[in-house]
A and B are shown apart, each in its own frame.
Chain A
Amino acid sequence: MAVTRLLDIASRSLGVYQRALDVTAHNVSNANNPQYSRQRVVLTAEKSEIRADGDWGTGVSIRDILRVRDNLNEIQIRTYNQKYSAANKKSELLGQIETVFAEPSDSGLSSLINKFFNSWDKLAASPNDTSLRNAVVQSAQLMGDKLQNIHDGLAQVKEDISSEMTDRVKEINNYIVQIQGMNKQIVESTNVGNVPNDLMDKRDDAIAELSKLVNITVNYDNKGSANISIGGVFATDSYNYVQFKADNTNGQLSMVTEDGTTRVAINSGELFSFTDLFNNKIPDYQSKIDTVANSIMNSVNTAHSTGYTLQTPPTTGLNFFDNYANGKLTINANILADVKNIAVSGNGQSGNGDIAVLIAGLTKSGVISGETIGNYYSSIVSTLGADKLLQEQNASSNQLVLDQLELQKESVSGVSVDEEMTNVIKFQRSYDASARLIKIADEMLQTLLSMV
């Protein structure tokens, strides 16, 4: 055996362990990088040389530098990212709506409606008392203000959602462009036999962030490109990408391709919370509040129009409320001008309060499809509370699963400094041993040369 062979094997080993130390240093420097997946050097024996006197080993080489990652775990993380983001954002937005309703409290609509009807009961005891008449008007105005406040609050939440949706779609577009760029680079790198682990880490991180925003499907082709579709619509591969925009047509919020031809079927992620609340939940709450307001207006007007005012002579046929539209409940201008126009007398006499008693009793009547105003409104509040609680619990349970999946991911892909330090010692010793081999080979050569 040639002594130079020993030199070859040893010098190749030096290169291998130098590279292994580089990989370890790279791992250690990225220990706190949440995007990073640890890389593992896979060593293999070089192909042996087959000779007449047997197989001769030719040293060690690096077969691969693996990015340690669990693909199944990645898929599950994406799925639960979408679920958690949808539930969490929905919970947050429903919390804003809860603030608008401000229940249970004295400033909530329930209390103000009750106080409005109670004011009629008090007026019934002294129908000609101006201060009690003023109190009826004031309580009606407070109730009307709250209805307007709820209407405006819900409209504001919708506006905020629309604005945030536009921003999120821009974010999605940015991620798509990034991913397409990285796909292209990865394919080019793979074609020349390289393994672009760091680029793949960055791409996977962008895909993970994208999955929080909207439901995506990811398919990896054999060239390493991650081909992504969003809600069934093509988004990007290594060659092309599509851009999207937020669309608000006929009061329906959605995401469409930039040319406006294709609508994305959003069913998860933050965008799902936006579209569901904007298109379904908020209009439903507003519609029910409108039902409450219209029922109050119609039932009070029906009773009030049969009563007589305190004017001389007493007049009848007057409505208490003028109109309800866009959240604004308007009191009859004649009543605002003169509270004597509140018609509570059943027979024209100034001390008769029969109509006031009748109006006060409406709170116990089934004026909304057989349900009382109080019960109907309570069911709105209860539904809102239950929706929020459900989303909170969904977010919480999805968070638990996500945390567990992240822990598993970290367990597989995370860098352990202890482990890397052990590897450093290992590779360093191997490097030292290879260097010692070179020295020994050198001494052997010198011995041979000195013999000549």
Chain B
Amino acid sequence: MRISDQLLSNRYLSGVNNTKSSMQKIQQQILTQSKINKPSDSPSGTVKTMRIQNQIDSYDTYINNIDNGLALLQTTATSMEKIQDEVQSLSIMLTDINSAVIDNSKLNGFADKVDLAINSLLDLANTQFNNKYIFGGTDYSAEPYGYNVAGTAVIQNVPSTAGELKIRINTNTIQKINTTGQELFGTIDGTDIFNTLVTIRDNLRAGIKPTAAQSQLVSTFNTNLTNKMSTAGETINRLTSTKDLLESQKLELEDLQQKETGVDTSQAIIDLQNQQYYLDLSYKMSSMILPKSLLDFL
């Protein structure tokens, strides 16, 4: 093949441009720490990266929801424990009242204690967390429970306490996180725990001891309360397990994303050094070959 001077210089320039182009690409990868900076770097890799990042963002949302849910459930569980303490104290007191040892003259004192217990139960039933009445269902317009105007009975202040508060804790999983007032206290119709205690209190003031049926109502409420506490506990466990799973999956996704896009910095630096060496070599060769021709020797 016939070699002209222009051919030599064109070939040299082409080689230098290719080397510099490789160097530029490696430099960009080192600076951005990513092999994929635009879709054309890897179309399938780009889509994968987008999907992984969206999944990670979604997991963050679910974990955030779970954290909020756990906080509500913890408050609910604490309130129910306090309610149970009150109810258990009341159960013991009712048993003591009906024993032959208690004098009827002391019944007024017991009435005061029952009155205190009712107010305490009402406070606990109206517990708020983050502007939510935790036993109010999904109606936060007013305190769910309170005395009627005459102060003679406890009524429900909102149309319904049965609303369920749900959060998404995974892609296809919606979890109810509240214990509704309807589930715990039932319909406020006079046979509920509040009005049963009101009747017991009023009877005690009138010198009438609580009946076996009334004591049974309190006991039944306590049993239901225990069941609801157990359910809340199970929900807490479920949310905690789900959170652990999501965090573990999130770590795996981040690892996968790193494998897809991450740059091995040390390898990249070595590649860059190699390219720099090739460039220096090209410069050296050009200084030896390009200027020389027969003209220099005539």
Contact = CB atoms under 8 A, between A and B. Distances in A.
Interface string A288-325: 00000000000000000000000000000000000000
B275 interface: no
Interface string A69-111: 0000000000000000000000000110011010110101011
A125 B132 contact: no
Nearest to B38: A98
A407 B5 contact: no
A209 B237 CA distance: 74
A412 B6 CA distance: 11
Given A34-B6, A412-B2, A382 B47 contact: yes
A110 B139 contact: no
Interface in B264-298: 293-295, 298
Contact of A104 (B10, B53, B168): B53
Nearest to B44: A382
A341 interface: no
Given A350-B138, A351-B137, A125 B65 contact: yes
- Interface magnitude class on chain B: 35 or more
- Most chain B CB within a 10 A radius of its CB, from A347, A350, A406: A350
- Most chain B CB within a 10 A radius of its CB, from A125, A349, A421: A125
Interface in A166-195: none
B96 to A, nearest CB: 40
Interface stretch (B158-166, B187-195, B206-214, B223-231): B158-166
B105 interface: no
A266 interface: no
Contact of B139 (A106, A350, A379): A350
Contact of B40 (A118, A128, A385, A422): A385
Interface in A111-142: 111, 114-115, 118, 121-122, 124-129
A351 B138 contact: yes
A417 B5 contact: yes
B7 A103 contact: no
Contacts of A345: 138
Nearest to B293: A417
Interface string B62-77: 1011001100000000
Interface in B166-198: 166-168, 171-172, 174, 177
A389 B43 contact: yes
Decide if the interface of chain A is mainly helix, strand, loop or mixed.
helix
B5 A416 contact: yes
Interface residues of A, number: 63
Given A125-B69, A357-B174, A111 B54 contact: yes
Contact of A388 (B2, B40, B166): B40
B153 interface: no
Contacts of B54: 110-111, 114, 374
Contacts of B168: 121, 124, 357, 360-361
A38 B295 CA distance: 18
Given A103-B46, A104-B53, A385-B38, A349 B5 contact: no
B5 A385 contact: no
A347 B163 contact: yes
- Most chain B CB within a 10 A radius of its CB, from A108, A354, A418: A418
Contact of B4 (A357, A386, A411): A411
Q: Which 10 pairs between the two chains have the least Cβ-Cβ distance?
A: A385-B39, A414-B4, A351-B138, A385-B43, A388-B40, A352-B138, A410-B7, A118-B61, A349-B138, A114-B54
Given A122-B61, A357-B174, 14 more contacts: A31-B4, A98-B39, A114-B57, A118-B57, A351-B139, A351-B165, A352-B163, A352-B165, A357-B168, A364-B172, A383-B43, A388-B39, A414-B2, A415-B5
22 contacts: A32-B6, A104-B36, A104-B46, A104-B261, A114-B54, A118-B60, A124-B168, A126-B68, A126-B132, A127-B138, A128-B132, A347-B138, A351-B136, A354-B166, A357-B166, A364-B172, A374-B51, A378-B47, A385-B41, A386-B39, A389-B43, A421-B295
